[in-house]
Amino acid sequence: MRYIEEYRNKEIARKILEQIKCISQKEINLMEVCGTHTVAIFRNGIKEILPPHINLISGPGCPVCVTPLRYIDEIIALSREDNFIITTFGDMMKVPGSTSTLEREKARGAEVRIVYSTLDALKIASDNPSKKVVFMGVGFETTSPTIAWAILKAEEEKIKNFLVLSAAKIMPPAMKQILESEEVHIDGFICPGHVSAIIGSYPYNFIPSQYGIPCVISGFEPLDILQSIFRLVKQIEKKEAKVEIQYKRVVKPEGNRIALEKINKVFTLVDAEWRGIGKIPLSGLEIREEYASFNARKLNVPVEETREIEGCRCGEVLRGVITPPECRLFKNICTPENPQGACMVSSEGTCAAYYQYGRKR
């Protein structure tokens, strides 16, 4: 890979912007469906430098944000059980459940540990054979191979106290759901780079073929995103619709076959609940019956009745229907220090991005 500065060249950015302006003057709505893209767009001020007729909409690209409330209540219920250790990435600690968070449960004495990889969680299980160690399997196609690998490794090494509570999801069905709902008019998709590094470009082909909407898989540097916008605008102006890969230094059309094999071996597709969107057919990854002994959901621990957070409009933000400032809780009650919804918790959440970068502008 070349030096990163080459993807942040101001002169090249100006030239791309001029080309975008020359192509079209009509209103265009582009949705990015990756939380890292959302943060990159805000951090680099891309919304502000684009022509006003090009509108960027943030979609359901944050895995923490789309994790349903019921799942958070499930993991909190497990944390309250004796001889359990909950292992999680740090951005899940403050996500509100119906009445608590993992952070509060830890303060009350629950054994909750932050890990940086599934390998860390597996080691904790190996070191604590008398306890059940549950890993929070939250994420999209990017993290799913590592979760699958951990389960296969646990089986190989006979680590029987390692469990996963899966909330893993796949992105294309959510894009289809957004298009089918027709709540938001979308002219093009900026497709996720990390997810596409695993699944490739083929799973998006239904979008241009069925809906006539162009897609460009983008990298994360400023010039990556600007070039992807340029390609989308050009397709729209020419009335074309296809899937392009801008992020060719990482993404191949066929994806990562080894990672996909791991996912398919351990997981099966199921209908899944997405926070703020509802149940999406065949959009979730559940552990196959062959590996049921590693499935924490099979423990059937009682879970409290789910109670939505009053006034939180995180779901509408995730669907691109509103922007965070349109929620009355945003910045008034809901802040990173006191998040009311998942969109303010995760660093990839749209509300967190608006709060951190939007107010500076």
Percent of the residues in the chain that have a pLDDT greater than 70, as a whole number: 98
Q: Say yes or no: 343 and 205 in one domain.
A: no
Q: Which domain holds residue 188?
A: 1-313
Q: Say yes or no: 321 and 222 in one domain.
A: no
Question: With bands split at pLDDT 50, 70 and 90, how would you rate the model's confidence at 8?
Answer: confident
pLDDT tops 50 at residue 67: yes
Q: How many domains does the chain have?
A: 2
Which pLDDT score, from 0 to 100, does residue 9 have? 85
Q: Say yes or no: 37 and 55 in one domain.
A: yes
Look at 6 and 335; give whichever has higher pLDDT: 335
pTM over 0.85: yes
Q: Say yes or no: 94 and 163 in one domain.
A: yes
* Distance from C-alpha of 233 to C-alpha of 130, rounded to nearest angstrom: 58
Kindly give, in sequence order, each residue whose CB lies less than 8 Å from that of residue 228, ignoring residues fewer than 6 positions away. Answer: 190, 216, 217, 218, 219, 246
Q: Say yes or no: 338 and 204 in one domain.
A: no
- SS3 for 70? helix
Q: Say yes or no: 180 and 165 in one domain.
A: yes
Which pLDDT score, from 0 to 100, does residue 2 have? 56
Question: With bands split at pLDDT 50, 70 and 90, how would you rate the model's confidence at 361?
Answer: very low
The model's pLDDT over 183-234, given as tens digits with 9 standing for 90+, comes to 999 999 999 999 999 999 999 999 999 999 999 999 999 999 999 999 999 9
pLDDT tops 70 at residue 244: yes
What does the DSSP 8-state code read for residue 357?
Answer: H
Which pLDDT score, from 0 to 100, does residue 303 have? 94
pLDDT tops 80 at residue 174: yes
Average confidence (pLDDT) over 231-253: 97
The model's pLDDT over 74-112, given as tens digits with 9 standing for 90+, comes to 999 999 999 999 999 998 999 999 999 999 999 999 999
Which pLDDT score, from 0 to 100, does residue 358 have? 74
Kindly give, in sequence order, each residue whose CB lies less than 8 Å from that of residue 173, ignoring residues fewer than 6 positions away. Answer: 280, 281, 282, 283
The model's pLDDT over 248-301, given as tens digits with 9 standing for 90+, comes to 999 999 999 999 999 999 999 999 999 989 999 999 999 999 999 999 999 989
CA distances from 149 to 47, 253, 355 (A): 39, 23, 36
Are 60 and 86 contacting, i.e. CB atoms less than 8 angstroms apart? no
Question: With bands split at pLDDT 50, 70 and 90, how would you rate the model's confidence at 6?
Answer: confident
Tokens 């059309």 — which residue?
Answer: 253
Q: Say yes or no: 132 and 74 in one domain.
A: yes
The domain that contains 168 carries what CATH number?
3.40.50.11750
Which pLDDT score, from 0 to 100, does residue 1 have? 45
Look at 361 and 171; give whichever has higher pLDDT: 171
Q: Say yes or no: 142 and 183 in one domain.
A: yes
The model's pLDDT over 108-121, given as tens digits with 9 standing for 90+, comes to 999 999 999 999 99
Q: Say yes or no: 304 and 335 in one domain.
A: no
Q: Say yes or no: 300 and 325 in one domain.
A: no
Which pLDDT score, from 0 to 100, does residue 37 have? 96
The model's pLDDT over 35-54, given as tens digits with 9 standing for 90+, comes to 999 999 999 999 999 999 99
Q: Say yes or no: 291 and 183 in one domain.
A: yes
pLDDT tops 90 at residue 72: yes
> Packing angle between helix 222-237 and helix 35-43, nearest 10 degrees?
100
